[in-house]
Amino acid sequence: MLKPNLIFETNQIMVFQQQLGPWDNLNHLFVCKSTKKACIVDPFDGEYWHDFCSSHGFQLSEIWLTHSHWDHVKGVEELVNITSDNIVIRCHILEQERGYKFNGISWWQHQEFTEITQSFGAMDFAIHCTPGHTPGHVTIIGNGLVITGDCLFLGRCGRTDLFGGSQDKQRQSLLYLRDILLEVEDTSLVLPGHQYELSDGSNPTTLKLVDLMVNNEALNSIDDEVEWNNLPFLSFEDDLSKKAKRQKARNS
């Protein structure tokens, strides 16, 4: 088995990263060192993470979903089926607007552009509701990490033209997040949901927050409405976009 990379470690936490699937999904597993409990964020391959945790003596006890697009939830059912202990699944309830449901989910229910505290093991994380890419997308911040899913990539942000997306709310989310991130330790590690090449030709899978705040094209455009609306990565003319338009028509 291809082993995930240990990308971050403190006295409290270990964080592993692995790219899985054809869409360059970046999966992140964090482990509470005092309890040996593990949480997987957006699992693409359930068996992969189950086997890794089992071989290292970690108890995979929770699944956190930044959002409910197929490539971010693909491994959920498999993990539930092969995990002997009850595994907790957490997702924001606004993802139900896209039709996402799964038996037994513990739904975060706070308002858009607000946060709640979620405990895991001996640690606390801030769960920020940052809609735009999807209705209930969340950004997870704490313990030296900023897990952005598809809300914010290292050089830009996620598209807003899929079913349930909103270009206006994405901009609001980034305005909200910028204020939050300015109060976060600038050495925090940003972990996006996908790997995309940056404008300088580099292609990292993590970035220090201080570098993201300076170089992210989406964040640098949110104060100018015209510049924001002209960003080329907010929408695409592709099959996914056409499917989203059909879904919206059926639900209107």
Q: What is the CATH number of the domain that holds 22?
A: 3.60.15.10
Q: pLDDT by residue (tens digit) across 182-218? A: 999 999 999 999 999 999 999 999 999 999 999 999 9
Please indicate, yes or no, whether the overall pTM of this predicted structure exceeds 0.75.
Answer: yes
What is the domain count for the chain?
1
Nearest-CA neighbor of 209 among 186, 242, 184?
186
**Per-residue CA distances from 24 to 31, 81, 95, 104, 129 (Å):** 23, 25, 22, 28, 24
Q: SS3 of 163, please? A: coil
Please, which pLDDT band fits residue 243 given cuts at 50, 70 and 90? confident
What pLDDT, on a 0 to 100 scale, did the predictor assign at position 242? 62
Asked if residues 138 and 66 have their Cβ atoms less than 8 Å apart, the reply is: yes
Q: pLDDT by residue (tens digit) across 56-80? A: 999 999 999 999 999 999 999 999 9
Residues contacting residue 77 through CB under 8 Å, at least 6 positions apart? 46, 102
Please, which pLDDT band fits residue 245 given cuts at 50, 70 and 90? low
Domain that holds residue 227: 5-251
Cα–Cα distance between 171 and 130 in angstroms, integer? Answer: 10
Q: 77-91, 138-152, 183-197, 211-225: lowest mean pLDDT where? A: 77-91
Q: SS3 of 6, please? A: strand
What pLDDT, on a 0 to 100 scale, did the predictor assign at position 233? 96
* Residue 120, both tokens: 């895991």
What pLDDT, on a 0 to 100 scale, did the predictor assign at position 244? 56
Q: SS3 of 71, please? A: helix
What pLDDT, on a 0 to 100 scale, did the predictor assign at position 85? 76
Q: How far is CA 176 from the centre of its chain?
A: 16
Phi-psi region of 215 (alpha: psi -120 to 50; beta: other; left: phi over 0): alpha
